[in-house]
Chain A
Amino acid sequence: MQISREKKLVMLRSLLLSRRFEEALTELCKIEGKVPGMMILCTGQEAVGAGVCAALQPEDVIITNHRSHSHLLSKGADPKAIMAEIFGKRTGCNKGKAGTLHLAVPEVNAPCTTTVVGASAPIAVGRAFAQQYRQEKCVTVCFIGDGATDEGSFHEAVNLASLWSLPVIFVCENNLYAGAQRYEEHTKVRNIADRAAAYAIPGVVADGNDALAVYTSALEARERAIAGAGPTLIEYKTYRWRGHGERDHQVYQPKEEIKAWQAKCPVARLRSEMLADGLISADELEAMERSVDAIVHDAIRFAEESPYPEPSDALEDVFAYPAMKGATPCSN
């Protein structure tokens, strides 16, 4: 498949932005009290978010999981609003209610980040059902990790999606670890994609560190879904450079293994390919990197300068108002 220069530039920019954004978070996490709570990063896996989202249209939906930064940024989420949310500030995309683990950005059709492993699958099925119900020509992508495919909710969701030929793409980032358990310690299945056979849908394995391979496979799954042929399970083989979270001691990840995967860096790969193919000049690349640096810098400054929510703001946003016709006046 021929991929246009413009599309490759979109992916390169997404890769650079996600990487820079998370490098900044890695540093911020070292400052005591700067970023509240847990920090879960996708560093090393950015080609999946960049490639999949490049294959999507704005009206397509993503339902994502705890390792969501590259998915959301590649889908077009505002880095300032995301960073402010990560800081717990009022100007965050969810007013400080969500934090990094539950970022919800419905304005770019990324309405749910769920940290309950496997839970993105049934919700994505529901979102795809709505698309089918309204005969919309768009799809829903469900991002899951390899560990999620051991959850019952995943299997229920894939079965239902297959049964009803729903326009959903199950994107599994197999980063080799579910928590501290290495892949072969949590499943006997050779490839996650092999599980697709149980539900009579295509199972595809692709290189998750190659943004172009990710893009191509996601585009094919999207076309299949749009055509009414139902879901696809795509397994992207990749690796997380960081631990499960930033406080992870990573005792279970061999240093040589991390180094070997760092040599397969998805950002460096597309960057050098595009330079070698003459699709971007060194000057253009430098300008893109500078622009991404500035975006991340501005996002951090925005987050730092933003106020925290008022404590009483905690009481808002539990229920929707105003109630529809005939419905409840409610005391909460």
Chain B
Amino acid sequence: MQQLGMGQAVNQALREEMTLDSTIFLAGEGIGVGIHDSPMLPTHGLLKEFGARRVKDTPVSEAAIAGLAVGAAEAGLKPVIEIMFNTFFTIASDMIVNHAAKLRYLSGGKSSFPLVVRMKTGAGFSAGCQHSHNLEAWVAHCPGLKVVMPATPADAKGLLKSAIRDPNPVIFIEDMALYFVPAPVPEEDHLIPIGHADIKRPGKDITVVTWSKMLGVAMKAAGQLAREGIDVEVVDLRTLSPLDKETILSSVRKTGKLVVLHEATRTGGFAGEVAAVVMEEAFSSLKAPLRRVTGPDIPVPFSPPLERFYIPNEEQLIRAIKEIL
């Protein structure tokens, strides 16, 4: 099977879908001609292949890019826009939160908005807190949006293709660290339905629920713990909204223990939602208090030792697991 980084997998999904459907167009800052020119990046080569009519480099205007998507989607086109970084979502957010997410509802179901907003994210580049800030809980809090956050290149390909074919607005968040980690990706028309979590490692002793880049941390920790005879089940949410409660709940009912792991900051983070679902619906299965392992409540710092302090790691996860075993 082909080995691709997540950027290449996204690229393949875009290429395949654009070939199938002429209503799909891309828009964003530097997606055609960018300041970086690497085959590992998601939109590499697409301008050359599909032309400037369908691959639109835009001014630095996040509100206009997002509005472009809203208006074009209402007209029946399928925009796939890129907001360069998750942090810049703040300047596109009126169009996404007040319009993409709500206009179908406000129309009484008459209109639909089949658009995808791709956003890059992830600490670890010493980019500082105005480029690094995981805001998935913000978007997951908005009814009318679907939120996808893949952890593997194969999932990214399958989920992006589903996102493009979905008749609703989908927020698709890519952790840039994953662009540079090749993994097997199916070559065929690979589709993964939105709204389905994936058990990346079955286990019987404890459940770790995570998503995006933190899957790697969870898998490494699980590997280390296996050598100590601790059998960790790793649930990769893949989609935050709609949330696959059943997969979470059946895992917790089996193991009786839960740790939720995410890179985003703690207070108001999505781990709180996962925890609440489990407390409401599987309380009697819990044999110990659940734990959260998250970034601390600080802006993502710049200096490498400070940034390493910020990003949750295997040691923190293993400690949390052992606390409740």
Stretch with Cβ within 8 A of B (4 or more), from A270-278, A284-292, A317-325: A317-325
Q: Which residue on A lies nearest to B246, using beta carbons?
A: A331
Contact A320 B99 (CB under 8 A): no
Q: Which residue on A lies nearest to B81, using beta carbons?
A: A126
Contact B104 A317 (CB under 8 A): yes
Chain B's nearest CB lies how many Å from the CB of A129?
Answer: 5
Contact B63 A123 (CB under 8 A): no
Q: Find chain A residues with CB under 8 A from B168 CB.
A: 319-320
Contact B74 A157 (CB under 8 A): no
Contact A316:B166 (CB < 8 A) given known A125-B64, A328-B242: no
Max chain A Cβ within 10 angstroms of own Cβ: one of B25, B67, B111, B242: B67
Contact B72 A328 (CB under 8 A): no
Contact A127:B75 (CB < 8 A) given known A122-B64, A153-B94, A328-B194: yes
Q: Find chain B residues with CB under 8 A from A106 CB.
A: 74, 107, 110-111
**Interface residue tally on A, bucketed by range:** 35 or more
Q: Indicate which residue in B72, B106, B144, B162 contacts A327 across the interface (CB closer than 8 Å).
A: B162
Contact A127 B242 (CB under 8 A): no
Chain A's nearest CB lies how many Å from the CB of B168?
Answer: 5
Count of chain B residues near A, Cβ 8 A: 53
Q: Which residue on B lies nearest to A157, using beta carbons?
A: B64
Contact B166 A122 (CB under 8 A): no
Contact A152:B103 (CB < 8 A) given known A111-B111, A129-B68, A323-B166: no
Q: Indicate which residue in A98, A152, A326 contacts B106 across the interface (CB closer than 8 Å).
A: A98
Contact A119 B99 (CB under 8 A): yes
Contact B103 A112 (CB under 8 A): yes
Contact B110 A104 (CB under 8 A): yes
Chain A's nearest CB lies how many Å from the CB of B313?
Answer: 33
Contact B64 A319 (CB under 8 A): no
User: Per-residue 0/1 for B33-70: is the Cβ within 8 Å of any A Cβ (1 yes, 0 no)?
Assistant: 00000000000000000000100001101111011111
| B73, CB-defined interface residue at 8 Å | yes
Which positions 22-60 of chain A face chain B at CB distance < 8 Å? Answer: none
Which positions 162-209 of chain B face chain A at CB distance < 8 Å? Answer: 162, 165-168, 191, 193-195
Chain A's nearest CB lies how many Å from the CB of B52?
Answer: 10
Q: Which residue on B lies nearest to A152, using beta carbons?
A: B63
Contact A320 B108 (CB under 8 A): no
Stretch with Cβ within 8 A of B (4 or more), from A10-18, A87-95, A300-308: A87-95
Q: Indicate which residue in B66, B74, B165 contacts A325 across the interface (CB closer than 8 Å).
A: B165
Q: Find chain B residues with CB under 8 A from A64 CB.
A: none
Per the bound structure, the CA–CA distance linking A318 and B144 in Å amounts to 5
| B8, CB-defined interface residue at 8 Å | no
| B112, CB-defined interface residue at 8 Å | yes
Contact A133:B72 (CB < 8 A) given known A119-B67, A324-B166: yes
Q: Indicate which residue in B61, B72, B74, B195 contacts A159 across the interface (CB closer than 8 Å).
A: B61
Contact A156 B99 (CB under 8 A): no
Chain B's nearest CB lies how many Å from the CB of A64?
Answer: 13
Q: Find chain A residues with CB under 8 A from B146 CB.
A: 319, 328, 330
| B250, CB-defined interface residue at 8 Å | no
| A130, CB-defined interface residue at 8 Å | yes
Per the bound structure, the CA–CA distance linking A130 and B69 in Å amounts to 10
Contact B53 A326 (CB under 8 A): no
User: Per-residue 0/1 for A117-146: is the Cβ within 8 Å of any B Cβ (1 yes, 0 no)?
Assistant: 001011111111111010000001000000
Per the bound structure, the CA–CA distance linking A63 and B289 in Å amounts to 52
Contact A328:B193 (CB < 8 A) given known A119-B95, A133-B25, A133-B77: yes
Q: Find chain A residues with CB under 8 A from B309 CB.
A: none
Max chain B Cβ within 10 angstroms of own Cβ: one of A124, A163, A328: A328
| B143, CB-defined interface residue at 8 Å | yes
| A160, CB-defined interface residue at 8 Å | yes
Contact B104 A318 (CB under 8 A): yes
| A70, CB-defined interface residue at 8 Å | no
Q: Which residue on B lies nearest to A314, using beta carbons?
A: B105
Contact B144 A130 (CB under 8 A): no
Contact A329:B161 (CB < 8 A) given known A156-B64, A160-B64: no
Contact B112 A121 (CB under 8 A): no
Per the bound structure, the CA–CA distance linking A122 and B72 in Å amounts to 10
Contact B106 A102 (CB under 8 A): yes
User: Per-residue 0/1 for B111-133: is the Cβ within 8 Å of any A Cβ (1 yes, 0 no)?
Assistant: 11110000000000000000000
Per the bound structure, the CA–CA distance linking A321 and B167 in Å amounts to 7
Chain A's nearest CB lies how many Å from the CB of B247?
Answer: 12
| A80, CB-defined interface residue at 8 Å | no
Per the bound structure, the CA–CA distance linking A331 and B248 in Å amounts to 15
Q: Find chain B residues with CB under 8 A from A316 CB.
A: 109
Q: Find chain B residues with CB under 8 A from A122 CB.
A: 63-64, 66-68, 70-71, 95
Chain A's nearest CB lies how many Å from the CB of B91?
Answer: 8
Contact B105 A317 (CB under 8 A): yes
Since A129-B77, A159-B64, A330-B146 are in contact, a sample of 20 more A-B pairs with Cβ atoms closer than 8 Å, ordered by chain A residue number, is: A94-B107, A97-B107, A102-B106, A104-B110, A106-B107, A116-B98, A122-B67, A125-B68, A128-B71, A129-B72, A153-B63, A156-B61, A160-B58, A160-B64, A320-B104, A326-B191, A328-B242, A330-B194, A330-B242, A331-B243
User: Which 4 pairs between the two chains have the least Cβ-Cβ distance?
Assistant: A122-B67, A126-B71, A130-B75, A94-B108
Q: Which residues of chain A have a CB within 8 Å of any CB of chain B?
A: 61, 63, 92-98, 102, 104, 106-107, 111-112, 114, 116, 119, 121-131, 133, 140, 152-153, 156-157, 159-160, 163, 316-321, 323-332
Q: Could you name 7 residue pairs across A and B whose Cβ atoms are closer than 8 Å?
A: A125-B67, A126-B70, A156-B67, A316-B109, A324-B165, A327-B193, A329-B195
